[in-house]
């Protein structure tokens, strides 16, 4: 058997003082030389001390009173004289009961106040969110309206250009149709057709430029509108966030306030003492 | 008010209300404390307290004065607490009965290595954890530990209260110490991890 194992087995007997003188001498010699065994023994002692402190439960006045009442119910069954409940005990329970009632009122009031603060804060956040959404949607609608107008202009220009081109093409077809009718037209038609082709090209270029111009303007407006909307969204989100932070602070403050009230109330109940000599008079 | 213990007992046996008032004032705190230490629960401890005093009232006529009155009271309080644990175990359908613990006592094994701590510092929060450790002990070990270590009864009184031999009481206290130490070391390891 190792020295450590022997030590562990003898530790209880050492603590109980039941080792023989020779065993005690050997035990103490090992203890002096071995730090880990000293720690183990110290831990055993500390465990006992700490547990003694933490489990030292006190009987409350209410429990003591209930014990008297239980005993009296039993004595009454046997027809024996009832126990006299100490006046001081009755006064203590009465004082605690009154303090508990008052504390319950204070905690309830504190709770209502805290709930009102939190609700107010919540409403403020809700208002900021609704206002922000309205402003952002207004900006978005304005930009969209501009976009629609530009799109309508682009469609108009495209239609005009297509009409012009169609007309020129028709004229060109007429010239081409006349060629078989007269040999002279075969000579004059190519320059005319070339002219029509040039005109069509010019109309296409002009129309395309107008459509492109409207498109570009529309794009610029959309980009500007988008940027403005995004800026508005950021602004409104910032406002809402601030309100929410305020709300969180309000909630935390309300929680702390309520915790203080509960803590004070618990102390009031714990410290409750009879108010007057009359209270302490009690009854049998 | 009562000059000797036997005079006090005599008045209790006669049903004298003053003797019962003295009984409550002198012993209710002690009974409640030991019940709480065994049961680890205020509500159950109050039930054990009431049951103990009712038992004293009903059985005081049987008290012959062979042991000290306080030892008799400790025995009734301990049994009341253990009865509450048994009732709970039955309700929960637990197979591990308080009464099958003796086999464990006979097969006590000590793992010496795991019991040598590097350093277990008992911080304030460890004290609360220790109470949880006490709750993890089996009822028999816990009761022996509570009576001997926390209530300060001698080993002989502990044995008499539990109605077991002194060597069996010693073994239970020793085993409880080791179980608690193991538990504490495990907790410390978990904190370090």
Q: What is the per-residue pLDDT across A85-142, written as a single tens digit (0 to 9) for each?
A: 999 999 999 998 888 888 888 877 877 777 777 778 777 777 888 887 888 788 888 8
- Report the number of distinct structural domains present in chain A: 2
In a shared domain, residues A214 and A265: yes
Asked if A107 and A263 touch (Cβ cutoff 8 Å), the reply is: no
List the structure tokens of A158: 């495209």
In a shared domain, residues B105 and B186: yes
Out of B15, B50, B127, closest to residue A53 by CB: B127
Domain that holds residue A145: 77-281
B23 CB-near residues (< 8 Å, 6+ apart): B12, B53, B56
For residue B34, pLDDT beyond 50: yes
DSSP letter for B148, please.
Answer: I
Q: What integer is the mean pLDDT of B84-90?
A: 92
C-alpha to C-alpha distances, A222 to A123, A140, A149, A216, nearest whole angstrom: 34, 9, 11, 10
Out of A44, A70, A71, closest to residue B181 by CB: A44
In a shared domain, residues B133 and B184: yes
- Report the number of distinct structural domains present in chain B: 2
Domain that holds residue B145: 98-192
Residue A265 CB-half CA count within 13 A: 19
pLDDT band at B94 (very low <50, low <70, confident <90, very high): low
For helices A3-16 and A21-33, angle between their N-to-C axes, nearest 10 degrees: 120
Tens of pLDDT, residues B123-155: 556 667 788 889 999 999 999 999 999 999 999
User: Is A63 within the bounds of a domain?
Assistant: no
In a shared domain, residues B9 and B39: yes
Residues of B in contact with A71 (CB under 8 A): 20, 24, 53-54, 57
Q: Is A4 within 8 Å of chain B by CB?
A: yes
Chain A nearest-CA distance from B59, in A, is: 13
Asked if A49 and B24 touch (Cβ cutoff 8 Å), the reply is: no
Write the ipTM: 0.85
Asked if B33 and B16 touch (Cβ cutoff 8 Å), the reply is: no
SS (H, E, C) B66-128: CCCHHHHHHHHHHHHHHHHHHHHHHHHCCCCCHHHCHHHHHCCCCCCHHHCCCCCCCCHHHHH
Q: What integer is the mean pLDDT of B56-70?
A: 91
pLDDT band at A283 (very low <50, low <70, confident <90, very high): very low
Chain B nearest-CA distance from A63, in A, is: 7
Q: Is A76 within 8 Å of chain B by CB?
A: no
User: Is A195 within the bounds of a domain?
Assistant: yes
pLDDT at B96: 53
Asked if A19 and A52 touch (Cβ cutoff 8 Å), the reply is: no
What is the four-CA torsion angle of A107, A108, A113, A118, rounded to 10 degrees? 90
Tell me the percentage of chain B whose pLDDT exceeds 70: 79
Q: Do A11 and B177 lie within an 8 Å CB cutoff?
A: yes
In a shared domain, residues A120 and A203: yes
Sign of CA dihedral B97, B99, B100, B102: positive
Q: Is A267 within 8 Å of chain B by CB?
A: no
Q: Pick from B45, B62, B92: which residue ends a domain?
A: B92
Sign of CA dihedral A53, A56, A60, A61: negative
In a shared domain, residues B133 and B178: yes
Q: What integer is the mean pLDDT of A75-83?
A: 96
Q: Pick from B58, B92, B126: which residue ends a domain?
A: B92
DSSP letter for B150, please.
Answer: I
Rounded Cα distance, A191 and A202, in Å = 16
Which one is predicted more confidently, B174 or B128? B174
Q: Is A283 within 8 Å of chain B by CB?
A: no
Out of A12, A56, A84, closest to residue B33 by CB: A56
Q: Do A50 and B24 lie within an 8 Å CB cutoff?
A: no
In a shared domain, residues A242 and A132: yes
């Amino acid at each position: 058997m190792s020295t450590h194992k022997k030590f562990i087995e003898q530790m209880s007997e050492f603590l109980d003082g039941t080792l023989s003188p020779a065993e005690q001498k050997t035990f103490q010699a090992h203890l002096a030389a071995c730090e880990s065994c000293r720690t183990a023994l110290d831990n055993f002692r500390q465990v006992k001390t700490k547990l003694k402190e933490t489990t030292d439960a006190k009987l409350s006045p209410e429990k003591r009173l209930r014990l008297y009442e239980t005993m009296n119910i039993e004595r009454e069954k046997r027809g024996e004289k009832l126990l006299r409940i100490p006046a001081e005990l009755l006064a203590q329970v009465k004082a605690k009961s009154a303090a508990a009632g008052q504390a319950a009122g204070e905690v309830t009031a504190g709770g209502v106040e805290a709930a009102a603060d939190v609700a107010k804060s919540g409403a403020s956040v809700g208002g900021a969110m609704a206002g922000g959404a309205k402003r952002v949607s207004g900006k978005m609608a304005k930009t969209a309206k501009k976009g629609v107008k530009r799109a309508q202009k682009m469609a108009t220009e495209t239609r005009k250009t297509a009409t012009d081109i169609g007309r020129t093409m028709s004229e060109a077809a007429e010239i081409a149709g006349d060629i078989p009718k007269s040999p002279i037209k075969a000579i004059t038609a190519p320059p005319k057709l070339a002219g029509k082709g040039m005109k069509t090209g010019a109309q296409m270029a002009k129309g395309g430029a107008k459509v492109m111009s409207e498109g570009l303007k529309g794009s610029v407006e959309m980009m500007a509108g988008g940027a403005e909307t995004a800026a508005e969204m950021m602004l409104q989100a910032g406002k809402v966030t601030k309100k929410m932070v305020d709300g969180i602070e309000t909630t935390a403050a309300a929680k702390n306030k309520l915790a203080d009230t509960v803590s004070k109330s618990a102390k009031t109940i714990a410290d409750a003492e009879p108010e007057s000599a009359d209270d302490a008079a009690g009854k049998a | 008010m009562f000059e000797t213990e036997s005079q006090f007992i005599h008045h209790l046996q006669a049903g004298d209300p003053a003797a019962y008032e003295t009984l409550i004032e002198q012993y209710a705190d002690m009974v409640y404390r030991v019940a709480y230490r065994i049961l680890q629960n205020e509500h159950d401890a109050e039930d054990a307290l009431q049951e103990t005093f009712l038992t004293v009232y009903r059985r005081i006529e049987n008290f012959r004065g062979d042991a000290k009155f306080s030892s008799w009271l400790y025995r009734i309080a301990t049994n009341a607490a253990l009865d509450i644990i048994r009732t709970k175990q039955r309700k929960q359908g637990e197979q591990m009965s308080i009464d099958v613990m003796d086999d464990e006592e006979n097969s006590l094994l000590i793992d010496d290595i795991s019991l040598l701590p590097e350093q277990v510092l008992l911080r304030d929060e460890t004290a609360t954890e220790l109470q949880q450790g006490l709750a993890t002990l089996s009822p028999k070990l816990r009761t022996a530990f509570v009576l001997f270590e926390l209530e300060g009864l001698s080993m002989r009184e502990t044995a008499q209260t539990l109605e077991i031999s002194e060597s069996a009481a010693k073994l239970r206290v020793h085993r409880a110490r080791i179980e608690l130490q193991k538990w504490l070391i495990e907790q410390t390891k978990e904190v370090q991890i």
